């Protein structure tokens, strides 16, 4: 045992020192420890835990009884803070910086999906009255097999989604503490796990509203100063960056026309309209099919509140999504003006934008701390979703139906740690940009849970065989699109970030055909669906 | 939840053949919202392709290694300025998001009214089962 630990440790240090992992840019080549950003980040994490502890007295029922208006707004803020991760905070601006208008499909995909979620899923799912996505699948499709498979998919989605978050955390730790990216990922993981377990044990899960406020303030504040510094309308930088876009494409505000890059704003220079469509629709369908997002409807006592919190949630998300393209545009503008001396990485462009504009270090530190908070709040939710899929849906429902609450809790904790540690393996050598990795998680959600919920709710003829066949086809399409050679024609039409363009129609077709070939569901299911759709 | 007026006849729930007054109205509204939602985003994308200046082209190397010539999408929609923005950029990155929020707000209002009219809003808050 001791020897194994020794071997493991030496292997770890050899890997850390080697150049095996060279995919991620070093944001802090001098290895400088940035004191103010470091202190900012640490105090934020402590604040979250403390707020959670003091807010503990309020349980869910009290909370919703406190006042409907406040409850809906608070529920919306919780949706938004759960939703906003390193992908929204860092990844989106990074891709817009690289790909210009093409990456606006991320902005629209991750907001437009909420319309689908609201009109097709929220009400019926809440009236159906189940607690987790695999619970719904197992019940609606009257099958333990379907429950098991869907629980595995929940874990897979959490895994892929978290890889992107780990990358964000690693890059920010690298920027703040001056340790290299791989060490940062490992240190970051340990901090995340400690944070999740401490919060969980202290019952500190109700700090989502505070997290949202922190995310929005850190994301908004530097923007005014950047816009001001670059000479754009800074009272509302979300409008002010429009002129910067125009200048990037045509020259102006000190930028000569020869240096202008029209590819930043023109729609189809870096990609085709088809790819724009494929990516945007994948993200929209994925939004409506992510189990931990749908899960937010179950805990709300009233159907009406479940719906209204979507409106608030979307509004709060929009505040950040209106701002992310500003960072990309301002960074691009500074870059074209020839600012030097800043280590740039697309996935850190939000932090780079503050540095490029020549603002004092603590502005960038503010953003780095905000990015870490965003990643932490999402990883926390994802690890818990994955661990509860394992402890509740697999262990309790399938393997040991008579397990005690205590054993379940223990299994959930072990699951959290195991999942959290296993993600490191992929995160050390991340396969793509943050937003792209997260897009794969959305494609997976779109190809599996979206058809399951859509047909499960809206077509009573869907059978359990169809559900299982659909999940298998969805998994094959999602992972198949990652494995086919990048130069093949198929990879051109079905990019790994956009596989739902093929996956969703195919899975729906398979599910409908299989349903007609297999015996129809029992009358109880049809009656239940009738009531779900008629508010009875 | 008690059963009401279901009788013994076979019921099938299908989005395209709604049963029950509540579901019929709900589905009708859902269809309108989804149609507006789809056309607002992808209809505009299609429009961008349609009105693009055919003479303004660019060579793109595809992931397959093939080099193709395609229009850049430059048109009056991209050259017109609105609040400083190229118009298409403003429409997609700012207006569409606001439209989504408005649509969600609209649907929530509609659903609340529908539930009130049917007099079937829940009696008291509490966990479902």
pLDDT digits (tens, 9 = 90+) for A489-505: 888 889 999 999 999 99
More confident site: A295 or A509 = A509
Looking at the domain assignment, is residue B101 inside a domain? yes
Name the band, by pLDDT with cuts 50, 70 and 90, for residue B124. very low
Interface test with chain A among B84, B109, B112, B126, by most A beta carbons within 10 Å: B84
Looking at the domain assignment, is residue B37 inside a domain? yes
Instruction: Examine the pLDDT at A69 and tell me if it is beyond 70.
Output: no
Tens of pLDDT, residue by residue over A197-229, are 877 666 545 677 888 888 999 999 999 999 998
Looking at the domain assignment, is residue B14 inside a domain? no
CA distance B91 to chain A (A): 11
Contact A355, A334 (CB under 8 A): no
- Mean pLDDT over B8-27 rounds to 85
State the pLDDT at residue B91.
Answer: 95
More confident site: A455 or A400 = A455
Instruction: Examine the pLDDT at B74 and tell me if it is beyond 60.
Output: yes
| CA dist., res. A138 & res. A291, Å (int) | 14
| CA dist., res. A315 & res. A321, Å (int) | 10
Cα nearest neighbour of A101 on chain B: B89
Looking at the domain assignment, is residue B75 inside a domain? yes
In chain B, what residues touch A495 (CB-CB under 8 Å)? 63
**Considering chain A, what percentage of its residues have pLDDT values greater than 70?**
91
| CA dist., res. A56 & res. A204, Å (int) | 6
In chain B, what residues touch A235 (CB-CB under 8 Å)? none
Runs of H (alpha helix) within A231-272 = 237-250
State the pLDDT at residue B72.
Answer: 85
- Mean pLDDT over A71-87 rounds to 85
Chain A, window 129-148: residues with a beta carbon less than 8 angstroms from a chain B beta carbon: 129
Name the band, by pLDDT with cuts 50, 70 and 90, for residue B8. low
Per the structure, the complete domain to which residue B48 belongs is given by 21-117
In DSSP notation, A131-194 reads SSHHHHHHHHTT-HHHHHHHHHHHHHHHHHHHHHHHHHHHHHHHHHH---HHHHHHHHHHHHHH
- Mean pLDDT over A103-124 rounds to 93
CA distance B83 to chain A (A): 7
Does the beta carbon of A243 lie under 8 angstroms from any beta carbon of chain B?
yes
State the pLDDT at residue A360.
Answer: 86
Looking at the domain assignment, is residue B28 inside a domain? yes
Tens of pLDDT, residue by residue over A161-182, are 999 999 999 999 999 988 889 9
Looking at the domain assignment, is residue B81 inside a domain? yes
Contact B115, A303 (CB under 8 A): yes
Domains for chain A: give ranges and CATH numbers: 24-237+272-530 (1.20.1730.10)
Name the band, by pLDDT with cuts 50, 70 and 90, for residue B2. very low
Name the band, by pLDDT with cuts 50, 70 and 90, for residue A70. low
Looking at the domain assignment, is residue B59 inside a domain? yes
Contact A111 B97 (CB under 8 A): yes
Does the beta carbon of A492 lie under 8 angstroms from any beta carbon of chain B?
yes
In chain B, how many domains are there? 1
Looking at the domain assignment, is residue B15 inside a domain? no
Contact B30 A120 (CB under 8 A): yes
Chain B, window 85-104: residues with a beta carbon less than 8 angstroms from a chain A beta carbon: 85-86, 88-90, 92-94, 96-98, 100-101, 103-104
């Amino acid at each position: 045992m001791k020897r194994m630990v020794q071997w493991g440790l030496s292997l770890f240090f050899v890997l850390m020192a080697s150049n095996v992992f060279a995919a991620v840019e070093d944001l802090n080549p001098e290895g400088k420890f940035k004191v103010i950003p470091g202190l900012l980040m640490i105090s934020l994490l402590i604040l979250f835990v403390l707020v959670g502890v003091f807010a503990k007295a309020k349980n869910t029922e009290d909370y919703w009884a406190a006042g409907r208006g406040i409850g809906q707004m608070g529920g919306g803020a919780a949706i938004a803070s759960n939703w906003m991760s390193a992908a929204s905070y860092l990844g989106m601006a990074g891709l817009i910086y690289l790909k210009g208008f093409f990456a606006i499909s991320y902005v629209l995909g991750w907001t437009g999906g909420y319309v689908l979620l609201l009109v097709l899923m929220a009400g019926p799912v809440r009236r159906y009255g189940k607690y987790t996505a695999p619970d719904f699948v197992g019940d609606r499709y009257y099958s333990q097999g379907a429950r098991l498979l869907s629980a595995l998919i929940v874990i897979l989605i959490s895994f892929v989604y978290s890889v992107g978050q780990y990358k964000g955390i690693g890059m920010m730790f690298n920027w703040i503490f001056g340790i290299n990216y791989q060490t940062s990922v490992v240190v970051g993981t340990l901090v995340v796990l400690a944070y999740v377990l401490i919060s969980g044990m202290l019952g500190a899960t109700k700090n989502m509203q505070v997290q949202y406020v922190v995310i929005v303030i850190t994301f908004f504040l530097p923007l005014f100063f950047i816009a001001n510094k670059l000479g754009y309308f800074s009272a509302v930088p979300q409008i002010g960056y429009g002129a910067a876009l125009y200048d990037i494409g045509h020259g102006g505000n000190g930028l000569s026309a020869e240096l202008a890059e029209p590819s930043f704003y023109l729609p189809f220079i870096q990609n085709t309209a088809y790819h724009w469509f494929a990516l945007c629709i994948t993200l929209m369908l994925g939004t409506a099919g992510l189990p931990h997002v749908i899960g937010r409807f179950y805990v709300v006592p009233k159907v009406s509140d479940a719906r209204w919190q979507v409106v608030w949630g979307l509004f709060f998300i929009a505040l950040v999504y209106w701002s992310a393209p500003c960072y990309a545009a301002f960074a691009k503008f500074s870059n074209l003006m020839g600012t030097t001396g800043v280590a740039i990485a697309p996935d850190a462009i939000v932090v780079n934008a503050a540095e490029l504009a020549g603002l004092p270090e603590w502005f960038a530190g503010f953003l780095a701390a905000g990015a870490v908070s965003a990643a932490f709040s999402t990883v926390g939710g994802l690890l818990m979703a994955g661990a509860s899929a394992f402890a509740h849906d697999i262990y309790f429902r399938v393997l040991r139906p008579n397990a005690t609450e205590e054993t379940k809790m223990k299994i959930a904790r072990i699951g959290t740690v195991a999942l959290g540690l296993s993600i490191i393996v992929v995160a050390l050598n991340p396969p793509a940009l943050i937003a792209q990795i997260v897009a794969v998680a959305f494609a997976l959600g779109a190809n599996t849970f979206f058809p399951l919920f859509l047909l499960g709710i809206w077509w009573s003829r869907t059978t359990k065989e169809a559900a299982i066949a659909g999940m298998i086809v969805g998994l094959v399409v999602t992972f198949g699109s990652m494995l086919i050679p990048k130069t093949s024609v198929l990879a051109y039409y079905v990019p790994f970030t956009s596989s739902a363009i093929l996956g969703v129609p195919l899975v729906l077709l398979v599910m409908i055909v299989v349903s007609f070939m297999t015996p129809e569901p029992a009358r109880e299911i049809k009656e239940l669906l009738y009531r779900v759709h008629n508010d009875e | 939840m008690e059963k009401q007026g279901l009788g013994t006849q076979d019921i099938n729930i299908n989005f395209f053949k709604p049963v029950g007054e509540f579901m019929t109205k709900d589905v009708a509204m859902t269809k309108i919202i989804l149609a507006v939602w789809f056309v607002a985003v992808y209809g505009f994308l299609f429009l961008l392709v349609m009105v693009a200046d055919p003479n303004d082209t660019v060579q793109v190397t595809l992931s397959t290694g093939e080099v193709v010539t395609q229009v850049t999408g430059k048109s009056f929609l991209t050259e017109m300025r609105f609040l400083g923005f190229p118009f298409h950029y403003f429409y997609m990155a700012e207006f569409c998001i606001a439209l989504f929020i408005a649509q969600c707000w609209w649907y929530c209002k509609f659903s609340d009214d529908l539930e009130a009219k049917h007099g079937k809003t829940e009696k008291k808050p509490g966990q479902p089962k």
